[in-house]
Structures are given as C-alpha cells and as structure tokens.
Amino acid sequence: MRNIFLILTIAFLLSSCVGNDTVILKQSIGKINKVMVVAKISDWTGDVGQEVRNSFGELMVGLPQPEHFLSVSQVAPNGFSSMMKASRNILIITEAKNEAFTVKKNVFAQPQTIVYVQAKDDESIIKLFQKHKNEIKNIFIDSDIQFTQRIFSKDKIDNSQYKTLSNLGVTFTIPKKFKTVDDTGEFLWLRNHLMSGIAKTGSNNILVYSIPLSDETQISDNIVAVRDSIGKKFIPGSDPETMHMITEEAYTPFTFDAIIDGKKAYETRGKWEVKNDFMAGPFLNYTVIDKKNNRLIIFEGFTYAPSVSKRAFVFELEAIAKSMKIN
C-alpha cells in the first residue's frame, strides 16, 4: 500500500510539472565583464579567435592602466560541460550552412545571455562577427549592467533621505555601502570606502547636481568646465586653500552620445586629479538633458584606488548612473 501511494505521489508531481510547463533554471555564474567563448580550438587559435580577442580587447577609456571592457576565455564544444553552461555571458561560434546571428536569454541558467554566431566557414564567420561586433559587445555590457542593478536593488538606499535627490526629483539604485559626505539640497556627494587589498585607502564616489539648460549645442563642449567649477567649489584637497579636484590637464576626456531614462545625454570618461597634489584617478560623467524642467542633471562617479585595477569600480558607477529616473 505504501509503495502504491509513493508511486501515485510521484506521478502527480511529474504531471504537475509537465502540465505547468515549468522549468527551474540554475543560478548563473561568472564574473562581471567576462565572456565565455565556445569555439573549436583551431578557430580560437586562428583568425576567428584573433578577431574575437581584438573586438573584445578594446581598452576602457579614462583608466590610468590599460584594462579591457570585456575579458574572454575559451572552451571547446566538447568541453562545454553543464558547469560551463551555467556561465552568465556566453558567445557560441559554430560552422553551419545557414548564416545566423541570434541572441537568447536564460537557456541553461538565469540570468544568462547567449549570443550565437554561425556561418559556413572562417571567412564568413569573421565577416558576420565584424558586422555585429559593437552590438555583441553592448549586449554583454548591458546584460552585466542589469545584473549589477538587480544586486544593488536588494540592499539599496532610500532616495528620499537625501535633500538633493528629493529637490531635483531624481532617483537611483544605489547600494547602502555608499555613505553621505555632503548633501546641501543642490549638491550630493556619496562615498564608498574600498576595504580590500591595497585599495583599502581608496574610495568610490558619486556626485549628483543640476545646472540650467541654456545653449543645447554647447553642452558637450562645456562638460569639463562645469565639472572643474564643481570641483573647485565642493571637492577640496588636503589643503582647501590651494587644492581641489580638476580634470587632468595632460589627458583629454572622451565624450560619447548616450541615453539615460529615455533622454538624450552625454557620457564623458577621463581622469581627475587634485590640483597641487598627487591624488588622481578615473571619472565617469553623465550629463542628461531634462528639457521638461529646462536643466541638465549631472551624475558623476570618480574612483581613487591606488595600485589596483579600477575597471570594476568604474563599472559599478556606470550601473548606478544608468539606473537614473527623473520625475
């Protein structure tokens, strides 16, 4: 009798799973800004692999030391085990008669992004990859941005506690590890002390403020002047009389078009330094055009982390910036 009951119970559970068409995926694994490439060894050591490494090997602008936007590792198709299939970002390159470029989510694990590139031979694969390389890179970066934002959302600050954010009518997904340095009602400065390795003396910083919107054609040209004026007013060095943050004079920042909260924006990456001092590091600035309120909303993140890689710190700031919502 007991065996019959057990069999009926198992049958019921199995039929329930099938009836609901429910598949429970495992949790994905993998570091931020890391892509696993599934390709034959001969492809990886040949022209196909060289093209992938060159495309993903673009250096992140504004960092003091050379660091790539994305790191890659390779596994052969016969070594693509169940553990490997749990990787969060995967690029699969195969030879097939039909040429195809496709993107799928949550195939073997979640959250997961898999990009498939297939063509009839190496030359065709390279052409297809070159055609879509910027799109592929952005797909993986955006995936990691969303992943990071989900992590931050589990333990985020209450935006309403900050006078500046309330007055400006903006919100961000900022983890609670960031603490207040200054909150005037017009200018917000948050800081996260870095507690690991050599960087334990360093910090990751967030600035939020706004300025009036005047000549829209001059916005990108004035970004450095605006940030330097803010540095002089709000970001002092060890001697406030002679030291304050400025844009590093020996390095010209790069500015790109961007979209934040559906609004036109400018993304600027460069290096900061403290005038008359030896402190320096990378910064990331988003200047967002808020036409409805005739103003520019400015988010800036800057990192001070001597002697360690800074890509991960700047990426965290990018994820926070791109969570901006303007009321």
For the stretch 75-107, pLDDT in tens is 999 999 999 999 999 999 999 999 999 999 999
The yes-or-no verdict on residue 237 having pLDDT over 90 is no
CATH code of the domain occupying 159-326:
3.40.1000.10
pTM of the model: 0.89
Q: Which residue has the higher pLDDT, 275 or 195?
A: 275
- 301 neighbors 318 (Cβ within 8 angstroms): yes
Closest CA to 225 of 276, 285, 165: 285
Sequence ranges of the chain with CATH classification 3.40.1000.10: 159-326
- For 22-153, the fitting CATH number among 3.30.70, 1.10.260, 3.30.379, 3.40.50 is 3.30.379
Q: Please give the full DSSP string across 180-234, using - where no structure is assigned.
A: EEEE-SSEEEEEEE--SGGGGG-EEEEEEEEEE---GGGHHHHHHHHHHHHHHHH
User: What contacts 24+ positions apart, CB below 8 Å, involve 128-136?
Assistant: 128/99, 128/101, 129/48, 129/51, 129/52, 129/55, 129/93, 130/51, 130/55, 131/101, 132/101, 133/55, 136/55, 136/91
Q: What average pLDDT score do residues 120-140 get?
A: 95
Residue 157 has φ and ψ, to the nearest 5°, of -75, 160
- For every residue of 63-99, which 3-state class applies, written as one string? CCCCCECCEEEEECHHHCCCCHHHECEEEEEEECCCC
288 by Cβ neighbours in 10 Å (0-12 / 13-18 / 19+) ranks as: buried
Tell me the Cα Rg of the chain: 24
Give the tens place of pLDDT for each residue, 172-224: 999 999 999 999 999 999 999 987 655 567 899 999 999 999 889 999 999 99
Q: Mapping DSSP to helix (H, G, I), strand (E, B) and coil, where does residue 252 land?
A: coil
pLDDT band, very low/low/confident/very high, at 241 (cuts 50, 70, 90): confident
pLDDT at 64: 85
- Return the structure tokens found at 68: 């790539």
How many Cα atoms sit within 13 Å of 185 on the Cβ side?
A: 0
**Average pLDDT of every residue of the chain:** 90
CA distance 116 to 95: 11
- Return the structure tokens found at 65: 């030391």
Judged by average pLDDT, the poorest of 21-25, 49-53, 230-234 is 21-25
- Per the listing, tokens 């009389």 go with 241
The yes-or-no verdict on residue 12 having pLDDT over 70 is no
Q: Write the CA distances from 61 to 101, 209, 252, 255, 314, integer angstroms.
A: 28, 24, 11, 10, 11
Type of residue numbered 147: F
pLDDT at 1: 45
- 188 neighbors 182 (Cβ within 8 angstroms): yes
pLDDT at 185: 97
Sequence ranges of the chain with CATH classification 3.30.379: 22-153
Most distant CA pair in the chain, distance: 88
pLDDT band, very low/low/confident/very high, at 272 (cuts 50, 70, 90): very high
- Per the listing, tokens 């070159």 go with 130
The yes-or-no verdict on residue 138 having pLDDT over 70 is yes
